[in-house]
Every structure is written in C-alpha cells, then in structure tokens.
Amino acid sequence: MSKNIRGAEAVMQSLIAEGVTTIFGYPGGAIMPIYDALYDFKDSINHILVRHEQGAIHAAQGFARTSKKAGVVFATSGPGATNLITGLADAMIDSTPVVCITGQVASHLLGTDAFQETDVIGISMPVTKWNIQVTNADEIASAIAKAFYIAKSGRPGPVLVDITKDAQFGMTEFLYKKCKEIRSYFPKPTLNHFAIEKAAQLINTAKKPYILVGQGVILSSAEKEFLDFSEKSGIPVASTLLGLGAFPTNHPQYVGYLGMHGNYAPNVLTNECDVLIAVGMRFDDRVTGDVSRYARQAKVIHLDIDSSEFNKIIKAEICIHADAKEGLRELTSLVLKKEHRLWRNEFKILENEEYDKIIKDAIEPSDDHLRMAEVVRMLSDKTQGKATIVSDVGQHQMITSRYYEFQRTKANITSGGLGTMGFALPAAIGAKLGDPSQTVVAIIGDGGFQMTIQELGTILQFKIDIKIMILNNNFLGMVRQWQQLYFDKRYSFTEIVNPNFTKIAEGYEISALKINQRNELRAAIETMLKHPKAFLLEVIVEKEENVFPMVETGASVSEIRLN
C-alpha cells in the first residue's frame, strides 16, 4: 500500500525495506532532511557517527566484508562527498558492496558553484560500479532499489546515490519494490558446460597442475565448493592477498601466499606448472611480476564472474565465465580423484628452504630486537588463527599476510588493490559491527594509524570492542625498505616522529599498553585479547627490518629474492 511521504523519509523506508540495520555517516547541510528523517528510525537503524567521511566508507567496507551485506554510508555535499572518493576507489578495486547516499544542493542551484556544491557524479564515476543523481522525490525509491541490486549482484562494488535537497523535501507516493533485474545488465553468467568439460580434461591430464585462489571464492560463498574441488583433484593451492581465508592455511595442500612479498615456493613454481587454474582472481601485477615471463609454459584456466578480467593481463587457454560456486561444483564432478604427491613435494622442498633462510629467524630472532613476524605469529597462535584480522598497508600488512595462519573465511580484511593507508582502524570498527561474535584485531603501522586516528572517537562514543595493535618502527617502513635497496639508503622523509600513542588512547578512554621487550610480548597479547573493551597495544619493533622474500619490480616471479 502506498502513502504520501517526504523524499527524506522515502530514503529511510527504502533502507528499511532492504534490511539495513547499520549506517556509517556524518551529517551536514545538504543531507540534513535525511538526518531529520533518521531521527524517527533510531530504534531500528544503528547510525555510527564517524569522525571523518573517509572513516565512514572504510567502516562500511569492513562491515560489508564480514557481514556479506552492503555497507551503507551517509555524507553531505561538497567536501563530505569528496571525502568518500578514496574509499570508493578502494571498494571498487577490491569488489566491496557499498551504497553511498550523499546530499546535494537544491536542483535549481546545480552548476552554479553554490556553497558546498561539487559534481560528485562526475568525480565518482570512475570509482563506482554505478551512480545516479536524483532530483525528484518520486525517483528516490527506485534509485535506491537499483543501487542495492547493482552493489551486491555479480562482481560486487560501490554505488552512489546523490539526492538534491529539494528532492529530500519533496512529497512522493511511496511504494518500494526491490530490484531483481535491469535490462542489459546480466550479473550472473549462464554456465558454459563445454568450457567446464574442456577444463576438466586439461586438469585430468596435467602432471603439475596448480590452483590460485582469489577473493571471488569468498564473495560467492564458494569455500566448501573450492575445498571439495581441491581435495578431489589433489592439486596444490596458493592464495592471493584477498583470497587468504578462502582455504585453510593448515591444509596439507596449501602451499602459501602469492605475490611480491609472498612465499618462495608458490612464486617460483608458478613457472614450473603445466596447468594453472585461477579461481576468482584477476592476475594483479603484484602476483604476476613481469607478465612476459609469467607461467609461459602453462595452459591457463581462468574462472571468474567478471568476463572483463579474461585475457586482460594473462592469456587463458580456457575462460570459464561463471559464479565460482556454480562453476566449481560442476568442475568437481568431472575431475578425477588424484593426489599429485611428487609435485606437491616440490613445494615442500622450497618451503623448507624459505623456513631455514627467512622464517625461522623472523619468528625466533637471535638478537634482542622484536620482529614484526614474531609478534604476528604469536597473535596467530593465541587466537588459533580464528580472529578477524584487519591490516593496514605497508610492511606490517605483508608480514601479517605471511605469518598469520588464517583458519576462517571472511577473517582477512585489508586494502588490496588500492593500498590505502588509514584503512584499518575504521574498517575494524565496521568489521566488528558486521560480525560482533568475532574477536577483531587491527594491525597497523605507526604511519597509517595517524591517517585515521580520529576514529578513536567513534570507538569511544559507541563502545566498540576492537583490539588495536600498532607495530611501531618509527618509519614509513615499506618506502624505507625500497629506499634502502634501490636508493642507496637515502631515507628521504620516511623517518617519522610519533606522538605518545598510549596517552592518546587513554584520552579516548581506551586502555593501552606499550612494550619493547620480547619477554613482555606474550603477556601483553594475552592482556589485549582478554580485555573486555577496546584495547591498544603498541609494540616497538626493529627499526630497519625488511620483508623478504621479495619479487623486485620488473622481475619474474621465479627470480624472487630471499634476502
């Protein structure tokens, strides 16, 4: 039954119809009518007042990644809307469903350079899956319905709905109808059985097959189907950065983490396999290294829901345009039961070499300096690999990916494709709200922490129980490592003087502890994890520690450096 309501209330009723229970936002003039309408929905919608709009969208990303729902953001026009752009770009490249609703100046002022007017549609177009400007209250419900459908269907992504102030005030006959299809938009491909059969034949005759698992498996909830496929085929499995957690790291077929700072064996043996099966990943340059020397000997099978990824970077012998769950289910029924023990043993040999030359000293150092790796491995042990880990960007991110032993899906939340410093703190807030049952630990460098440090205020106001671990080396560590290796140790503006983080945390009523000795580490991590509320642990680590192995820019993955 329809009724006449204001456009602002139509926004709220539309969100209720979509099952929205959490919104991250910051009010302002152009979105004030929507915030006024929100006042009447306080009992059914939890609005989280962030301290910066970038914090809102990163929090929405964390929420989406743990809840499997779309994150929702409110922001005002002008600077409010432009502050979302970094998060939109991050969500776009990492396929995260986010619905941003921005206020806009009245429609008669569009294009006049009115106060806090920006062309948010033009600015956000390259970093959204879809965007629209609504100038009439009658268009609000259908625009929001379409926004949720596009954000969550197919390959997920961010969308933005910009609503003028007069549309928010205007009256409309409200009747909400969920969007189920859009002409010329086909988010779920029809399974190509012939391609599946060809792929199965190739896999069944392979001597050295190799599987690369990406985030697409997690996004399509295909973890069980992927496990069934890998176990039946007996093929070794390596993970991309965002694929971590899709496959248990303690599984006997798991051979490690791919990429520039990934494990030795999965990188080197990429150039030894005869069939390479890529599932839900996009052959990012951090994975491939020099494309002209990447897996040239292998026949590539690429399974992905987004056909634009096919042959974009790596030419595939067989492209399977499919949802991972459906494609893997059928592929599993056609592959033969095998073990590939000799081939998997080749990974084991190189794994042992990496352990002896890098890992052993990283997690059990012989000197007095705390290492990032030993901190992360102890956290992994104490949480049994089951915590939700939200990492920022830099050396600590690579260390976390290497040394945290993920045993659970949707537990690795990080900025992959864009590499956004400042991501972790607000994303951890969203991750906890998206799945309150899990322990959430944000692992952050001293540089990235200060980019969104104001979100400690959000933790204070809403009493959000997250654990914050700062790995402090008083450097912008990853840039410093490159300066050491390639710029003759000319440390140009990478050394950073930091404030007293524990005192800042205490100012926000967050309990905090700072340590710099190995004999303090175990008790400190236990204290952090057992604390009933938010807790900040600052760990002073080796100042000039480097992350190895490393595939240098322009190098082949098989040329990965161990030191």
List pLDDT tens digits, range 445-490.
999 999 999 999 999 999 999 999 999 999 999 999 999 999 999 9
| pLDDT more than 90, % of the chain | 98
Average pLDDT over residues 342-354: 97
- Average pLDDT value over all residues in the chain: 97
State the pLDDT confidence band at 74, using cuts at 50, 70 and 90.
very high
Start-end of H helices in 310-423? 324-334, 341-354, 360-363, 372-383, 395-403
- Does residue 128 register a pLDDT over 70? yes
Cα separation, 538 vs 491, in Å, equals 24
Per-residue pLDDT tens over the stretch 216-261: 999 999 999 999 999 999 999 999 999 999 999 999 999 999 999 9
Token digits of residue 467: 């654990």
State the pLDDT confidence band at 59, using cuts at 50, 70 and 90.
very high
pLDDT in the model for residue 240: 97
- Does residue 1 register a pLDDT over 60? no
Taking alpha carbons only, the member of 83, 246, 60 closest to residue 157 is: 60
Cα separation, 6 vs 173, in Å, equals 9
Task: Work out the number of other CB atoms within 10 angstroms of the CB of residue 125.
Answer: 12
User: What is the DSSP track for 431-460?
Assistant: HHHH-TTS-EEEEEEHHHHTTSGGGHHHHH
Taking alpha carbons only, the member of 512, 405, 540 closest to residue 456 is: 512
| Amino acid identity for residue 64 in this structure | A
Q: In this structure, are residues 242 and 414 in contact, taking their beta carbons and an 8 Å threshold? A: yes
pLDDT in the model for residue 366: 84
Return the active site residues: 53, 115-116, 165, 478
The residues, any chain, with a CB within 8 Å of residue 53's CB and separated by 6 or more, are 26, 73, 75, 80, 81, 83, 84
549: cis peptide before it, omega within 30°? yes
Per-residue pLDDT tens over the stretch 173-205: 999 999 999 999 999 999 999 999 999 999 999
- Does residue 3 register a pLDDT over 90? no
Q: What is the DSSP letter of 335?
A: S
3-state secondary structure 455-521: HHHHHHHHCCCCEEEEEECCECHHHHHHHHHHCCCCCCCCECCCCCHHHHHHHCCCEEEEECCHHHH
Q: Burial of 520 by CB count in 10 Å (0-12 exposed, 13-18 middle, 19+ buried)?
A: middle
> Beta strand 171-174 with 3-6: parallel, antiparallel or unpaired?
antiparallel
pLDDT in the model for residue 367: 86
Per-residue pLDDT tens over the stretch 293-318: 999 999 999 999 999 999 999 999 99
Per-residue pLDDT tens over the stretch 8-51: 999 999 999 999 999 999 999 999 999 999 999 999 999 999 99
Torsion sign across C-alpha atoms 412, 418, 424, 430: negative
Taking alpha carbons only, the member of 391, 468, 421, 436 closest to residue 22 is: 436
Taking alpha carbons only, the member of 319, 327, 317, 322 closest to residue 295 is: 317
Taking alpha carbons only, the member of 172, 110, 176, 116 closest to residue 143 is: 176
State the pLDDT confidence band at 382, using cuts at 50, 70 and 90.
very high
Cα separation, 144 vs 163, in Å, equals 10
pLDDT in the model for residue 2: 62
Per-residue pLDDT tens over the stretch 487-542: 999 999 999 999 999 999 999 999 999 999 999 999 999 999 999 999 999 999 99
Average pLDDT over residues 279-293: 96
What are the helix and strand counts (H, E) for the chain? Answer: 24, 20
